């Protein structure tokens, strides 16, 4: 049986290529993805508010989330991921966060590994 994964993400990427890529990745990892912005849950926020989504998150085995490109976590996403279960953060800005070999060596020296 597949593990269920609640996919917490900002409303701004609803129905976007990024949302599709994230869902595809999670499914590739063998997870059944619960997307709060799917048609299945349309209108639920207006009817029940955030507690509806936190209840969905509570029912899943784990949570995956995407932060904003700045690394900040929007309030709604933060509320959804504040559960006592495993969390996967989908990476943002990987290219701009890479450091050079020299920077890596300097870091290793600073922490006493070289």
Q: Is 92 helix (H, G, I), strand (E, B) or coil?
A: coil
CA 91 to CA 108: how far, in whole Å?
Answer: 23
73 Cβ neighbours under 8 A, 6+ residues apart: 65, 67, 81
Per-residue model confidence (pLDDT) at position 101: 95
Instruction: State the DSSP string of 5-50.
Output: EEEE--GGGTTSHHHHHHHHHHHHTTEEEE-TTSGGGTTHHHHH-H
Of the pLDDT bands very low, low, confident and very high (cuts 50, 70, 90), residue 71 is confident
pTM, full prediction? 0.84
- Pairwise CA distance, residues 26 & 6, whole Å: 10
Domain 3-110 has CATH 3.40.50.300: no
How far, CA to CA in Å, does 12 sit from each of 17, 18, 67, 104? 12, 10, 11, 34
Q: Is the confidence at residue 114, as pLDDT, over 90?
A: no
Span 81-108, mean pLDDT?
91
Q: Each residue of 19-43: pLDDT tens digit?
A: 999 999 999 999 999 999 999 999 9
């Amino acid at each position: 049986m597949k593990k269920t994964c609640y996919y917490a993400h900002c409303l701004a990427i609803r129905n976007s290529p990024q949302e599709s890529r994230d869902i595809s990745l999670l499914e590739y990892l063998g997870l059944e993805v619960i997307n709060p912005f799917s048609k299945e849950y349309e209108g639920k926020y207006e009817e029940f508010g955030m507690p509806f989504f936190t209840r969905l998150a509570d029912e899943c085995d784990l949570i995956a989330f995407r932060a904003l490109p700045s690394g900040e976590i929007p309030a709604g996403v933060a509320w959804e991921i504040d559960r006592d279960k495993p969390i996967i953060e989908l990476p943002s800005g990987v290219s701009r966060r890479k450091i050079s070999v020299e920077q890596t060596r300097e870091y290793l020296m600073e922490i006493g590994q070289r």
